[in-house]
Structure 1
Protein backbone atom coordinates (compact mmCIF):
# COMPACT_ATOMS: atom_id res chain seq x y z
CA UNK A 1 0.00 0.00 0.00
CA UNK A 2 1.28 3.41 -0.91
CA UNK A 3 1.10 6.23 1.66
CA UNK A 4 -1.64 4.68 3.78
CA UNK A 5 -2.23 6.59 6.97
CA UNK A 6 -4.36 4.09 8.85
CA UNK A 7 -4.03 0.45 7.85
CA UNK A 8 -6.31 -0.65 10.69
CA UNK A 9 -9.13 1.51 9.34
CA UNK A 10 -8.72 0.10 5.83
CA UNK A 11 -8.69 -3.47 7.17
CA UNK A 12 -11.77 -2.78 9.31
CA UNK A 13 -13.54 -1.33 6.27
CA UNK A 14 -12.73 -4.46 4.27
CA UNK A 15 -13.86 -6.76 7.05
CA UNK A 16 -17.15 -4.85 7.27
CA UNK A 17 -17.64 -5.01 3.51
CA UNK A 18 -17.16 -8.79 3.63
CA UNK A 19 -19.64 -9.13 6.51
CA UNK A 20 -22.27 -7.07 4.72
CA UNK A 21 -21.70 -8.93 1.44
CA UNK A 22 -22.20 -12.27 3.18
CA UNK A 23 -25.21 -10.96 5.13
CA UNK A 24 -26.97 -10.05 1.88
CA UNK A 25 -26.02 -13.41 0.37
CA UNK A 26 -23.65 -12.33 -2.39
CA UNK A 27 -20.44 -13.98 -3.46
CA UNK A 28 -17.43 -11.83 -4.29
CA UNK A 29 -18.10 -12.60 -7.93
CA UNK A 30 -21.75 -11.49 -7.68
CA UNK A 31 -20.72 -8.26 -5.98
CA UNK A 32 -18.02 -7.58 -8.55
CA UNK A 33 -20.47 -8.14 -11.40
CA UNK A 34 -23.21 -6.02 -9.81
CA UNK A 35 -20.75 -3.20 -9.03
CA UNK A 36 -18.99 -3.54 -12.40
CA UNK A 37 -15.55 -3.78 -10.84
CA UNK A 38 -12.92 -6.52 -11.16
CA UNK A 39 -13.39 -9.57 -8.92
CA UNK A 40 -9.79 -9.23 -7.77
CA UNK A 41 -10.54 -5.70 -6.58
CA UNK A 42 -13.32 -6.92 -4.29
CA UNK A 43 -10.89 -9.38 -2.72
CA UNK A 44 -8.18 -6.75 -2.25
CA UNK A 45 -10.65 -4.37 -0.61
CA UNK A 46 -12.02 -7.07 1.72
CA UNK A 47 -8.48 -8.06 2.76
CA UNK A 48 -7.58 -4.42 3.42
CA UNK A 49 -4.83 -4.45 0.81
CA UNK A 50 -5.97 -1.29 -1.00
CA UNK A 51 -7.25 2.12 -0.02
CA UNK A 52 -10.26 2.16 -2.32
CA UNK A 53 -11.75 5.20 -4.03
CA UNK A 54 -14.93 7.04 -3.14
CA UNK A 55 -16.46 6.07 -6.48
CA UNK A 56 -15.79 2.39 -5.79
CA UNK A 57 -17.35 2.69 -2.33
CA UNK A 58 -20.40 4.22 -4.00
CA UNK A 59 -20.81 1.41 -6.55
CA UNK A 60 -20.30 -1.21 -3.83
CA UNK A 61 -23.04 0.33 -1.67
CA UNK A 62 -25.32 0.57 -4.68
CA UNK A 63 -24.71 -3.06 -5.63
CA UNK A 64 -25.32 -4.16 -2.03
CA UNK A 65 -28.50 -2.02 -1.92
CA UNK A 66 -27.38 -0.34 1.29
CA UNK A 67 -26.75 3.20 2.42
CA UNK A 68 -23.14 4.16 1.74
CA UNK A 69 -22.69 5.07 5.41
CA UNK A 70 -23.33 1.41 6.35
CA UNK A 71 -19.96 0.55 4.85
CA UNK A 72 -18.30 2.86 7.37
CA UNK A 73 -20.37 1.71 10.33
CA UNK A 74 -17.89 -0.82 11.64
CA UNK A 75 -17.02 0.32 15.14
CA UNK A 76 -19.25 -2.44 16.49
CA UNK A 77 -17.43 -4.94 14.23
CA UNK A 78 -13.95 -3.71 15.12
CA UNK A 79 -13.39 -6.43 17.73
CA UNK A 80 -10.76 -8.76 16.36
CA UNK A 81 -9.77 -6.56 13.40
CA UNK A 82 -6.14 -5.61 12.89
Structure 2
Protein backbone atom coordinates (compact mmCIF):
# COMPACT_ATOMS: atom_id res chain seq x y z
CA UNK A 1 0.00 0.00 0.00
CA UNK A 2 1.46 3.33 -0.98
CA UNK A 3 1.51 6.50 1.10
CA UNK A 4 -0.82 8.38 -1.28
CA UNK A 5 -3.54 5.79 -0.74
CA UNK A 6 -3.09 5.86 3.03
CA UNK A 7 -3.19 9.66 3.01
CA UNK A 8 -6.37 9.65 0.90
CA UNK A 9 -8.10 7.17 3.22
CA UNK A 10 -7.20 9.23 6.29
CA UNK A 11 -8.39 12.49 4.73
CA UNK A 12 -11.62 10.91 3.50
CA UNK A 13 -12.28 9.43 6.94
CA UNK A 14 -11.64 12.77 8.62
CA UNK A 15 -14.03 14.48 6.20
CA UNK A 16 -16.75 11.89 6.87
CA UNK A 17 -16.28 12.39 10.60
CA UNK A 18 -16.31 16.19 10.27
CA UNK A 19 -19.59 16.19 8.36
CA UNK A 20 -21.15 13.56 10.63
CA UNK A 21 -20.29 15.55 13.76
CA UNK A 22 -21.55 18.79 12.18
CA UNK A 23 -24.90 17.05 11.70
CA UNK A 24 -24.97 15.90 15.35
CA UNK A 25 -24.86 12.24 14.35
CA UNK A 26 -23.07 9.46 16.19
CA UNK A 27 -21.25 6.70 14.35
CA UNK A 28 -24.10 4.42 15.41
CA UNK A 29 -26.68 6.80 13.90
CA UNK A 30 -24.86 6.93 10.57
CA UNK A 31 -24.17 3.20 10.54
CA UNK A 32 -27.86 2.44 11.11
CA UNK A 33 -28.93 4.88 8.38
CA UNK A 34 -26.79 3.10 5.78
CA UNK A 35 -27.68 -0.43 6.87
CA UNK A 36 -24.56 -1.37 8.82
CA UNK A 37 -25.22 -3.68 11.77
CA UNK A 38 -22.82 -1.80 14.01
CA UNK A 39 -20.66 1.30 14.03
CA UNK A 40 -17.30 -0.51 14.00
CA UNK A 41 -17.06 -0.73 10.21
CA UNK A 42 -17.79 2.96 9.97
CA UNK A 43 -15.19 3.68 12.67
CA UNK A 44 -12.56 1.85 10.58
CA UNK A 45 -13.48 3.98 7.55
CA UNK A 46 -13.30 7.21 9.58
CA UNK A 47 -9.92 6.17 10.99
CA UNK A 48 -8.58 5.47 7.49
CA UNK A 49 -7.82 1.84 8.28
CA UNK A 50 -9.75 0.31 5.38
CA UNK A 51 -10.24 0.96 1.70
CA UNK A 52 -13.90 1.46 0.89
CA UNK A 53 -15.87 1.10 -2.31
CA UNK A 54 -17.48 3.92 -4.21
CA UNK A 55 -20.83 2.35 -3.36
CA UNK A 56 -20.08 2.63 0.36
CA UNK A 57 -19.01 6.25 -0.15
CA UNK A 58 -22.33 6.80 -1.95
CA UNK A 59 -24.25 5.26 0.97
CA UNK A 60 -22.35 7.37 3.48
CA UNK A 61 -23.06 10.52 1.45
CA UNK A 62 -26.78 9.64 1.39
CA UNK A 63 -26.72 8.95 5.13
CA UNK A 64 -25.11 12.33 5.74
CA UNK A 65 -27.44 14.05 3.27
CA UNK A 66 -24.54 15.40 1.23
CA UNK A 67 -22.95 14.77 -2.14
CA UNK A 68 -20.01 12.51 -2.91
CA UNK A 69 -18.28 15.66 -4.11
CA UNK A 70 -18.68 17.22 -0.66
CA UNK A 71 -17.12 14.13 0.90
CA UNK A 72 -14.19 14.03 -1.48
CA UNK A 73 -13.45 17.73 -1.93
CA UNK A 74 -10.16 18.75 -0.32
CA UNK A 75 -9.17 15.09 0.05
Q: What TM-score do you get using the length of structure 2 for normalisation?
A: 0.88
Partners of 2:27 and 2:14 in 1: how far apart?
Answer: 13
- Alignment size in residue pairs: 73
Match of 2:24 in 1: 25
Consecutive unaligned residues of structure 2, counting only runs of 5 or more, are none
- 1:73 Cα deviation from its structure 2 partner: 1.3
Runs of 4+ in 1 over 4 A off after TM superposition: none
Aligned partner of residue 69 in structure 2, secondary structure: helix
Consecutive unaligned residues of structure 1, counting only runs of 5 or more, are 76-82
Two-structure CA RMSD over aligned residues (Å):
1.4
Partners of 2:57 and 2:5 in 1: how far apart?
Answer: 17
